Amino acid sequence: MSITSAEDNIIAQIKTVMGNKVRAVESLPGNWDDDTLKRLLRLLPGIFLVWGGGQVQERNAGVGGLVVGSWIVYVITGHASGEAARRRGDGQQAGAYELLQLLIPLLNGYTVPGEGTLSLQRVENLYSGSVDRQGVTVYACSFNMPQAWPTEVDMNLLTPFQTFDAQYDTPPLTTEAEHQKWLDGNYGTTKPDAHDTVAVPQ
C-alpha cells in the first residue's frame, strides 16, 4: 500500500480530463475548513484531493491486512456573478455541476495500478452561510478504495531525510519522569541546556 503513489496517480487521472477546465488539481492535508477555503480562493475553480484514512476490513493474524481507504475529492468554484453561476457556470468558467458530471464517471470504477479500484460512496453539497459569504460553492465526492496494508516493516519505504533533531542536558536529568516531559514538549519545570536541528547529508 502506498498512499503517496495512489494520491499522485488519482491527481494525474483528474488532470487528464479536467486540467484545462480548472486552475488547480492538488492534494490537501485534511478535510477543509474556513481557513483552508480562504487560502484556496486564488486557485478557483479547483479540485482538491484528501486521503481521509480508512477502516481495516481484513487482518492477517492481527498484522497488516486490507484497509478500505476513504478518498474525498472537493470541487470548489467561485463566481462574482452569484451563487447560481457557481453551480451552473456562466460561460466564462465551468460550474460545479459540470465538473461533477465529468469527475464522477472519471473516477468511479477507476483502478489505481497496483493499489485498488475507486468506488463512489456519496456526493455532498457543503453549502453553508460561511461558504456563501466567501463567494464559493463546495461539493464533496467520497470514494472508497481497498488497499493492501503491508505486514512487515520495509525501511526502504522511508524517504531519505536531512534533518536531525536532538536535545542535550549536562548533567543528565535525575528522573525519567522529567525527561519524559521533554519528549512531550513540556518545558514547564526544566528545559534542555541545548536544542539543535542539524542538516545531515544523505
Q: What pTM was estimated for this model as a whole?
A: 0.71
pLDDT digits (tens, 9 = 90+) for 4-38: 999 999 999 999 999 888 999 999 887 667 777 77
Range with lowest mean pLDDT among 39-43, 148-152, 168-172: 168-172
* Every domain of the chain and the residues it spans: 3-149, 161-199
| CB-CB contact of 95 with 88 (8 Å) | yes
Residue 72's CB is within 10 A of a number of other CB atoms, namely 20
Residue 174 CB contacts under 8 Å (≥ 6 apart), including other chains: none
Q: How confident is the model at residue 175 (pLDDT cuts 50, 70, 90)?
A: confident
Class at the top of the CATH hierarchy for domain 3-149: alpha beta
Residue identified by cell 453553508 is 128
pLDDT of residue 125: 95
The residue-averaged pLDDT of 83-95 equals: 80
Please state the separation of Cα 10 from the chain's center in Å.
12
